[in-house]
Amino acid sequence: MSRVALVTGGTRGIGAAISISLKAAGYKVAANYAGNDEKAKAFEAETGIPVFKWDVSIYQSCVDGIASVEASLGAVEVLVNNAGITRDAMFHKMTPDQWNEVMNTNLTGLFNMTHPVWTGMRERNFGRIINISSINGQKGQMGQVNYSAAKAGDLGFTKALAQEGAAKGITVNAVCPGYIGTEMVRAIPEKVLNERIIPQIPVGRLGEPEEIARCVVFLASDDAGFITGSTLSANGGQFFV
**Catalytic residue at 147?**
yes
Q: At what angle do helices 96-106 and 108-124 cross, to 10 degrees?
A: 10
Question: How far, in Å, CA of 176 to CA of 135, rounded?
Answer: 5
Question: C-alpha distances in angstroms, 22 versus 18, 25, 31, 218?
Answer: 6, 5, 11, 10
Long-range pairs, 110-115, Cβ under 8 A, ≥24: 110/81, 110/154, 110/157, 111/59, 111/157, 112/56, 112/57, 112/58, 112/59, 112/61, 112/62, 113/6, 113/8, 113/56, 113/62, 113/66, 113/79, 113/81, 114/79, 114/81, 114/161, 115/59
Q: Which residue is catalytic, options 27, 33, 59, 147?
A: 147
**Nearest residue to 215 via CA among 1, 22, 5:** 22
Phi, psi at residue 228, to the nearest 5°? -150, 150
Q: Which residue type is seen at 200?
A: Q
Would you tell me how many other CB atoms lie within 10 Å of the CB of residue 223?
Answer: 9
C-beta of residue 206 within 8 angstroms of C-beta of residue 181: yes
Catalytic positions are: 147
